[in-house]
A and B are shown apart, each in its own frame.
Chain A
Amino acid sequence: MAAATASLNAAHLASLAAPRHYEDNPATRDTPWIKWMILTLSLLFFAGFLLLPLATVFVEAFKKGWDVYLAAISEDDALSAIRLTLIAALIAVPMNLVFGISAAWAIAKFEFRGKQLLITLIDLPFSVSPVVAGLIYVLLFGAQSWVGPWLIEHDLKIMFAVPGIVLATIFVTFPFIARELIPLMQAQGKDEEEAAIVLGASGLQTFWHVTLPNIKWGLLYGVILCNARAMGEFGAVSVVSGHIRGVTNTMPLQIEILYNEYQFAAAFAVASLLALLALVTLVLKTYIEWQAARSARDSQQG
């Protein structure tokens, strides 16, 4: 399976739990000038391409002072964009969570034909352009589609309305949790669950008391990454939203509108909230990696 996003990787966790000391070993130690050259080049690249844009968001957001910043993020349109972003994430993440658990249970605990194909298909949304992701729902539910006239007749709005935004968000975040859980649950096998069932536990009890504690870090990891993407999705949502101010604008779309109206400070103010979300996501993600590494080490020693 292609690692299209960050994941709780066993090799990475092992190296977090027990770091190797390459620089103490003559066979793996680089000569000082090579080391400094590689370090300098890679850190300059890192600073230029990752740190600089991140810093720019906050610098630009506060360029005109606190008052402008606070006004920008408490304006009605901004608030309604924040609300819509939260709604979309609050629907999309739990939907994909249930799907992820269900897919991982079927794939990891049972043998059936076409399993590899199923795993590949679950990954599919990651390799589809966000714009195409939006387009497919326009083709299905837009005014020109087969169901379009029927939807209009019954006054059901999917395109250029909240349901379309939710659908597009679900699509682009579709694989996050499943792809995190599938390899994790495959690696853990099914002996513990089978023992619980044989001892008389029900299916749900087994899942809750045996499986869940084993997969909790992977689950949380998938959820926070899924949430970050759900709140930040731009391309797919842009196609289905219709950009109706105060009604179908999510935070990223609101940023676009403000930016195109040359309200740069306001655009960056809203952007800074999303940048903050990104930083929180990365902190949580790192915390989860350390916890997972610790519990992996403990279970090895115990």
Chain B
Amino acid sequence: MSPPRHKPFRVLPGFNLTLGYTLLYLSLLVLIPLSAVFIKTATGGWDHFWLTVTSPRVLASFRLSFGMSLLAAAINSVFGLLLTWSLVRYRFPGRKIVDALIDLPFALPTAVAGIALTAIYAPKGWIGSLATAYGIRIAFTPWGVLLALIFIGLPFVVRTVQPVLEDLEVELEEAAASLGAPRWETFRRVTFPALLPALLTGFALAFARAVGEYGSVIFIAGNIPMVSEITPLMIITKLEQYDYTGATGIAAVMLLLSFILLFIINGLQVWSTRRIGRTV
């Protein structure tokens, strides 16, 4: 027979107050407003929703936003890993400054980053004019979007991989070396597998951020319909036309994607913790 269940005895005060306030604040500011998106989409009817999100201009924006976000996250994964490796494994002058500045995209307002990138890559800009001389246009094309998304995504990869690399037991590599494994083989079979969950998490975080990004992109994108319009801009465009149902429909698609990504990222974290737990 199991003992009768009692209310758990709590020494510390404030459980009801703090949990109650947390739930209230969360509901009022986040959950209820977010549910408005789905309620509004539902009341607008399925046909209107489907017509909006499958219109050619919106589909083109999905392709651009998703494609460039994936590409930016992939590029950031490669260079983010190299940067993390440099920061953790090597000593070089200015290392601490580089380390601190990695978070610049978190701290620098997106609009500031947006106009700065545009000034650099516009046809009259410092790099833009060089590229124009070779007949390449960067700003006001999808490539401009890519550059902005690389800028804002970089710290997600570095800051996710860095603590894992710092925490990695040196003994693993020593063991591999003492068994005669060459450095590259050790990296490929020992170090990299240990970093992989964190790297994938960083990739997913950078991707999630990039898909929703607005401020740093709109200045450099040029916002040409069917060519360089990102999905968040489509929401704004619909709003400016007072097409609230249309704007909400696109937002519902983006929110759904956010939820799926959040789910994947949480899963990756669980996998990552378990994997580290096993190796250490």
Also in contact, A42 and B86, with CB within 8 A (given A124-B30, A232-B108)? yes
Nearest residue, chain B, Cβ from A234:
B215
Q: Is B208 in the interface zone, CB < 8 Å from A?
A: yes
* A132 and B255 within 8 A (CB): yes
Provided the pairs A28-B170, A132-B255, A255-B115 are in contact, do residues A139 and B212 lie with their beta carbons within 8 angstroms?
no
Q: Given A11, A135, A278, which contacts B107 in the complex, CB threshold below 8 Å?
A: A278
Residues of B within 8 A of A223 (CB): none
Per-position 1/0 for A23-50, Cβ under 8 A of B: 1011110110011001101110110011
Tell me the bound Cα distance from A194 to B13 in angstroms. Answer: 10
Query: A170 in the interface, Cβ–Cβ < 8 Å?
Result: yes
Contact B21 A278 (CB under 8 A): no
Interface residues on A, range: 35 or more
Distance between B28 CB and nearest chain A CB, rounded to angstroms: 10
Write the nearest CB–CB distance from B27 to chain A, whole angstroms.
9
Segment from B33-41, B45-53, B135-143 that makes contact with A: B33-41
Using Cβ atoms and an 8 Å threshold, which residues of chain A touch B21? Answer: 99, 102
One of A71-79, A149-157, A263-271 contacting the partner = A263-271
B185 within 8 A of A: no
Name A203's contact: one of B14, B29, B266 (CB within 8 Å): B14
Contact B150 A110 (CB under 8 A): no
Confirm or deny: A130 has a beta carbon within 8 angstroms of a beta carbon on chain B.
yes
Residues of B in contact (CB 8 Å), total 106
Q: Does B105 contact A (CB under 8 A)?
A: yes
Within 8 A of B (CB), among A56-110: 56-57, 60, 99, 102-103, 105-107, 109-110
Q: Which A residues fall within an 8 A CB radius of B?
A: 1-7, 9-12, 14-15, 20, 22-23, 25-28, 30-31, 34-35, 38-39, 41-43, 45-46, 49-54, 56-57, 60, 99, 102-103, 105-107, 109-112, 118, 120-125, 127-132, 135-140, 142, 144, 167, 170-171, 174, 190, 193-194, 197-198, 203, 206, 225, 228-229, 231-235, 238-239, 251-253, 255-256, 259, 264, 267-268, 271, 274-275, 277-279, 281-283, 285-286
Binding site for A on B (CB under 8 A): 8, 10-15, 17-19, 21-23, 25-26, 29-34, 36-37, 40, 79, 82-83, 85-86, 88-92, 96, 98-113, 115-117, 119-120, 126, 147, 150-151, 154-156, 159-160, 162-164, 166-167, 170, 173-174, 176-178, 183, 201, 205, 208-209, 211-215, 219, 232-233, 235-236, 239, 242, 244, 247-248, 251, 254-255, 258-259, 261-262, 265-266, 269
